[in-house]
Amino acid sequence: MIWYILLAVVAVIGIVALIASTKPDEFTIRRQGAIPGAPAKVFPYMDDLHKFLEWSPWAKLDPTMKLTYGGPASGSGANFSWEGNGKVGVGKMTITESRPNDLVRCQFDFYKPFSCTNTHEFALKPEGSQTIVTWTMNGNAPFFFKLFMVFVSCDTMMGKNFERGLANLKAVVAG
């Protein structure tokens, strides 16, 4: 009897591993939000990392997290490192490209609770009296991440954070 149970457990693990191996090697998560005002009004909230924290969906998860800023005050090369609780972990955000009123691209390096590097991009497009902000995250999907994706939709999980962040941005810009 124990052999049948052991065989069933091994079979389930094998099936999960097989399903995980079919997942893509990279992932993309994207959300859009309409923010009141022209791109010139919205852009500083992505380009200045002090302002980024005013609307970041993660900043409020640990109000006591330790922040260290480096590089210029804004634009390419601006960065900050954080050390926080289990909800925000430990990492670093660096602006790698900044095109005024058009695009901010950042590299996010996470060190804890797990190590990974992702690219976040904030694209701004004027539309009438508002700006459409498209927030996109790209990254590699190592096997442990693919295993996770068998059980959890990362697009849904992270997408909720992006939606909350864009709603926060709208509220901050609208003032």
Average pLDDT value for residue range 17-34: 78
Strands 130-140 and 116-127: antiparallel
Q: Does the bond joining 113 to the residue before it have cis omega, within 30 degrees of 0?
A: yes
What is the model's pLDDT at position 63? 85
Least Cα distance to 142 among 108, 118, 162 occurs for: 118
Percent of the chain with pLDDT over 90: 57
Res. 166: pLDDT tops 90: yes
Give the total residue count for the chain.
Answer: 175
Measured between alpha carbons, how far is 72 from 56 in angstroms, rounded to an integer? 20
Mean pLDDT of 122-150: 84
Contacting residues for 130 by C-beta, under 8 A, at least 6 apart: 34, 35, 36, 37
Q: Tell me the average pLDDT across 50-77.
A: 92
The CA-based dihedral angle spanning residues 97, 98, 104, 109, taken in that order and rounded to the nearest 10 degrees: 40
If you average pLDDT over residues 52-69, what whole number do you get?
90
Residues 6+ apart with CB under 8 A from 58: 87, 88, 161
